Amino acid sequence: MTPMAPPVRRQRPAVMADVAKLAGVSVPTVSRVLNGSAVVRPDKRDRVLDAIAELNFRPSATARALSLRQTRNIALLAGNTSHYGYAETIRGVEEAARAAGYTVSITVAETTDDAEVDRAIDLVLGQTAAGIVLLKFDPAGVALRERIPADVPLVVAGGAPGSDAPQAVLDEYSAAVELIEHLLSLGHRTVHHVRIPPSRDEDGRTTGWRRALADAGAPVPPLWDADWSAATGRTIGRALAEDHEVTAVFAGNDEIAMGVVRGLTDAGRRVPEDVSVVGFDDHPLAELWSPSLTTVAQDFAALGRRAFGLLLALLSDEDVPAFSADRPLLVLRDSTAPPPPTAPESH
Amino acid sequence: MTPMAPPVRRQRPAVMADVAKLAGVSVPTVSRVLNGSAVVRPDKRDRVLDAIAELNFRPSATARALSLRQTRNIALLAGNTSHYGYAETIRGVEEAARAAGYTVSITVAETTDDAEVDRAIDLVLGQTAAGIVLLKFDPAGVALRERIPADVPLVVAGGAPGSDAPQAVLDEYSAAVELIEHLLSLGHRTVHHVRIPPSRDEDGRTTGWRRALADAGAPVPPLWDADWSAATGRTIGRALAEDHEVTAVFAGNDEIAMGVVRGLTDAGRRVPEDVSVVGFDDHPLAELWSPSLTTVAQDFAALGRRAFGLLLALLSDEDVPAFSADRPLLVLRDSTAPPPPTAPESH
DNA sequence: TTGAAAGCGCTAACAA
DNA sequence: TTGTTAGCGCTTTCAA
């Protein structure tokens, strides 16, 4: 009744012993030609290569790892994988890893919930990773950091400087200062800040904002807290629109900035004529937004590459710089302008 | 001169034999309490657990994998990791994998270049993955597919239906048809299409567009080709603005749609009054764009989850549905409207 | 230059 | 219920 099924017998993959047998040599010899760890006579070498091709042999990475006690796979721990900065950093890590012959295993902990953080850590430690790159961009990242045992090779990407592991960062503090100084120099009396979820107490963006304001003798208005979605930015933008003393807003990232712009315009305020808005990151859409967004360009992919580089150095027992910082770049566009002439000079 | 360095001797991590010794039992017994593979007498069990805690023992996943001949790690192959659809799909795969106790190793091939594709494949096969999830969203994905040996457990996510491996897809064809029908029903004579990089000949979005137009007896204008960046959308939008017969544009994804809108408005055309624009995907910013974008919501994360589910079934020798399709949802917003009354009815 | 033997850390089969 | 014995597939001594 049923049509004759083709013989689907999935055969056992060839192992080194099969190759050795077919080539008429010993197993270690096969290993030697594979790794070039010793000189093998050309004729044997060729026979081995032929056998490998014929049997379609692929060495077992697991067995190799067990014997060598190290893998070419690193773990990437993060609070998220798809938001702009995260995704770009991951891209950079993967790029650098691939170039070095490593794969990267990703596992995330979405919240700071103990159970979830522990589970992520267990997953990672239960795997065969040579080391860990931790994205410390958010509270989850901080929580993860605390749970990583001291004896695991670790590199931290992002976050406040001063971890006990080698760390690659972006100098968000200085970038934020530049941004605020730009706004102040335009004539704004102060700048309101819509903050991204803070790592601990404050991230570099917020600290830079506060500091630049204080140094200029400008008032430091209360913070607004956003999550990572642009939608909350919009809600906050609408609220900000109520207060006509608000003439400049610094959003924690470009997506929030876009939301804020949208909220402001929803409520009838013009950007930048009535209020200036700046973002952070230089998201690909920041330039296309109307008005195009003044922001700070952060090279997350490069951050990822640097982080992997640190880990590689750590793994090869090289001298590892404890710190690798990169300076974001101010990008002036159309969302900032002097405050409207009618704006109150003071209360 | 130098301050006395603390003794940093990194000690060898504890192995099962250490635990066994300390607990006064045999190695297999330790294994048994760890895996619950057999009943162990409570007192021994407790001693083992204590020893594990005291020695801070973590079983070697590598050794376990070698013995069991299978890992709890899957490989994810893709042409990209950071674009919206990719990042979301990856998120879904990782979520589902994490829930099932798997980690996911990501490796990408950015182009269809033979050397690059082969290198990615080698990396993946050289690692200890239980199976592969392939994102077949683009030409690189197609090229990767062709190089994956037949004996590796594989699941394809996205792409044209009809692969020889189990496949999870989004029904882009039907979604595109709906989108075009919506535009046509508004009174547009035809719809211009700005296409994302095609997988092979045509992706579902393009095929659906062409088909819906043909079925309605509408002319099928020449294609515009964009890459994944919104910036090319802008350029194309400007070009499109020259032709006043263009009253409706279907962009291959929301980012391109945003670019097109921007290009159109750069050139003085109003959206949607002069030209309607639709996107695809329902990117988080699509709703915040001005005007908010009519689009089709694709649940990429769910796609990723389904793909992982298929792979898990495949790995556990369950019956695996060859196909899992999901229907995107039309989202009507403000970027579409009837064509302007002055628009030419025909040539 | 090559092979035999041992071992990486774990699980499974078998006896006791 | 538990221990002994054999591997899993590779790399690395160590002799020859």
Q: Are residues A182 and A292 in the same domain?
A: yes
Q: Mean pLDDT across chain A, nearest whole number?
A: 91
Per the domain annotation, does A286 fall within a domain?
Answer: yes
B67 touches strand C (CB under 7 A): yes
Read off the pLDDT of residues B322-338 as tens digits, 9 standing for 90 and up. Answer: 778 888 899 999 999 99
Q: Which residues, including other chains, have CB under 8 Å from residue A189's CB and lie 6 or more apart? A: A218, A219, A245, A247, A339, A343, A345, A346
Q: Are residues B239 and B200 in the same domain?
A: yes
Q: Which residues, including other chains, have CB under 8 Å from residue A309's CB and lie 6 or more apart? A: A96, A168, A324
How many CA atoms lie within 13 Å of B85's alpha carbon, on the beta-carbon side? Answer: 26
- Is a pLDDT exceeding 70 seen at residue B149? yes
**Residue holding tokens 């055969």?**
A11
Residue A106 to residue B107, Cβ atoms within 8 A: no
Read off the pLDDT of residues A291-313 as tens digits, 9 standing for 90 and up. Answer: 999 999 999 999 999 999 999 99
- Is a pLDDT exceeding 90 seen at residue B87? yes
Q: How far is the CA of A18 from the C1' of C2 (A)?
A: 18
Query: Looking at the 3D structure of chain B, how many domains does it have?
Result: 3
Per the domain annotation, does A231 fall within a domain?
Answer: yes
Q: Are residues B193 and B156 in the same domain?
A: no
Residue A56 to residue B124, Cβ atoms within 8 A: no
DSSP 8-state symbol, A327: -
Q: Which residues, including other chains, have CB under 8 Å from residue B217's CB and lie 6 or more apart? A: none
In this structure, the dihedral spanned by the alpha carbons of residues B148, B154, B160 and B163, taken in order and rounded to 10 degrees, is 80
Closest protein CA to C1' of nucleotide C11, residue: B67
Q: How far is the CA of A318 from the C1' of D15 (A)?
A: 35
Mutant choice from A260, A285, A287 vs B, greatest count of B C-beta within 10 A: A285
Size of interface A-B (CB pairs under 8 A): 149
Q: pLDDT band at A346, cuts 50/70/90?
A: very low
Chain A CA closest to residue B8: A151
Q: Are residues B111 and B163 in the same domain?
A: yes
Residue B160 pLDDT: 84
- Is a pLDDT exceeding 90 seen at residue B96? yes
Per the domain annotation, does A188 fall within a domain?
Answer: yes
Q: What residues in A contact B65, CB-CB < 8 Å?
A: 62, 128
Read off the pLDDT of residues B171-224 as tens digits, 9 standing for 90 and up. Answer: 999 999 999 999 999 999 999 999 998 766 668 899 999 999 999 999 999 999
- Is a pLDDT exceeding 90 seen at residue B161? no
Contact A76, A31 (CB under 8 A): no
Neighbours of B108 (CB within 10 A): 22
Q: Are residues A177 and A136 in the same domain?
A: no
Q: Is the peptide bond before B153 cis (omega within 30 degrees of 0)?
A: no
Q: Are residues B48 and B22 in the same domain?
A: yes
In this structure, the dihedral spanned by the alpha carbons of residues A288, A291, A297 and A302, taken in order and rounded to 10 degrees, is -20
Question: Distance (Å) from the C-alpha of residue B323 to the closest C-alpha of chain A?
Answer: 20
By Cβ distance, the residue of A66, A84, A123 closest to B101 is A123
Q: pLDDT band at B26, cuts 50/70/90?
A: very high
By Cβ distance, the residue of B13, B71, B123 closest to A98 is B123
Closest protein CA to C1' of nucleotide C4, residue: A26
Chain A CA closest to residue B100: A123
Question: Distance (Å) from the C-alpha of residue B106 to the closest C-alpha of chain A?
Answer: 6
Question: Distance (Å) from the C-alpha of residue B174 to the closest C-alpha of chain A?
Answer: 27
Determine the Cα–Cα distance for residues B217 and B220; give it in Å rounded to an integer: 9
Tokens encoding B288? 């915040």
By Cβ distance, the residue of B73, B94, B288 closest to A81 is B94
B residues 249..268 contacting A (CB < 8 A): 255, 258-259, 262, 265
Nearest CA-CA partner of A241 in A261, A257, A225, A224? A261
Q: What average pLDDT score do residues A172-176 get? A: 94
Per the domain annotation, does A312 fall within a domain?
Answer: yes
Residue A318 pLDDT: 78
Chain A CA closest to residue B233: A288
Residue B255 to residue A285, Cβ atoms within 8 A: yes
Question: DSSP 3-state assignment of A289?
Answer: coil
Residues by CB within 7 A of strand D: list them.
Answer: A 12, 15-17, 27-28, 30-32, 34-35, 37, 57, 59-60, 63-64, 66-68; B 24-29, 32, 38-41, 44-45, 63, 66-67, 69
By Cβ distance, the residue of B65, B265, B284 closest to A229 is B284
Task: Decide if B98 touches A, using CB distance below 8 A.
Answer: yes
Q: Are residues B259 and B223 in the same domain?
A: yes
Residue B149 to residue A288, Cβ atoms within 8 A: no
Per the domain annotation, does B346 fall within a domain?
Answer: no
Read off the pLDDT of residues B50-66 as tens digits, 9 standing for 90 and up. Answer: 999 999 999 999 999 99
Q: Is the peptide bond before A291 cis (omega within 30 degrees of 0)?
A: yes
Q: What average pLDDT score do residues A229-241 get? A: 95
CA gyration radius, chain A: 27
Read off the pLDDT of residues A182-221 as tens digits, 9 standing for 90 and up. Answer: 999 999 999 999 999 876 666 889 999 999 999 999 999 9
Task: Return the sign of the alpha-carbon dihedral for residues B211, B212, B215, B219.
Answer: negative
- Is a pLDDT exceeding 70 seen at residue A2? no
- Is a pLDDT exceeding 70 seen at residue A337? yes
Query: CATH no. for residue A232?
Result: 3.40.50.2300
Q: What residues in A contact B57, CB-CB < 8 Å?
A: none
Q: pLDDT band at A14, cuts 50/70/90?
A: very high
Q: Report the percent of chain A where pLDDT is more than 70.
A: 94
By Cβ distance, the residue of A10, A65, A106 closest to B151 is A10
Q: What average pLDDT score do residues A44-58 get? A: 94
pTM of the shown model = 0.91
Contact A108, A78 (CB under 8 A): yes
B15 nearest nt, CA–C1': C9
Contact A117, B24 (CB under 8 A): no
Residue B126 to residue A59, Cβ atoms within 8 A: yes
What residues does A76 pair with on adjacent strands?
A106, A133
Q: Is the peptide bond before A339 cis (omega within 30 degrees of 0)?
A: no
Q: What residues in B contact A124, CB-CB < 8 Å?
A: 103
Q: Are residues A315 and A269 in the same domain?
A: no
Length of chain B: 347
Greater confidence (B23 vs A202) lies with B23
Residue A125 to residue B58, Cβ atoms within 8 A: yes
Q: Are residues B237 and B259 in the same domain?
A: yes
Q: Which residues of B21-53 are buried (b: 16+ CB within 10 A; e: fewer)?
A: ebbebeeebbbbbbeeeeebeeebbebbeebbe
- Residue B234 belongs to what domain range? 172-298
Q: Are residues A78 and A223 in the same domain?
A: no
Residue A323 pLDDT: 79
Amino acid letter, residue B115: A
Mutant choice from A127, A234, A271 vs B, greatest count of B C-beta within 10 A: A127
Q: Which residues, including other chains, have CB under 8 Å from residue A65's CB and lie 6 or more apart? A: A71, A128, B62, B128
Determine the Cα–Cα distance for residues A255 and A263; give it in Å rounded to an integer: 12
Read off the pLDDT of residues A133-148 as tens digits, 9 standing for 90 and up. Answer: 999 999 999 999 999 9
DSSP 8-state symbol, B142: H
- Chain D, protein-covered positions (CB within 7 A): 1-5, 7-13
Q: Are residues B208 and B270 in the same domain?
A: yes
Per the domain annotation, does A9 fall within a domain?
Answer: no
Per the domain annotation, does B143 fall within a domain?
Answer: yes
Nearest CA-CA partner of B220 in B229, B211, B230, B231? B211
Per the domain annotation, does B337 fall within a domain?
Answer: no
- Is a pLDDT exceeding 60 seen at residue B29? yes
CA–CA distance from A17 to each of A9, A59, A257 (Å)?
Answer: 21, 11, 61
Task: Decide if B185 touches A, using CB distance below 8 A.
Answer: no
Q: Mean pLDDT across chain B, nearest whole number?
A: 91
Query: Phi and psi for A84 in degrees, rounded to 5?
Result: -50, -60
Q: Are residues A190 and A292 in the same domain?
A: yes
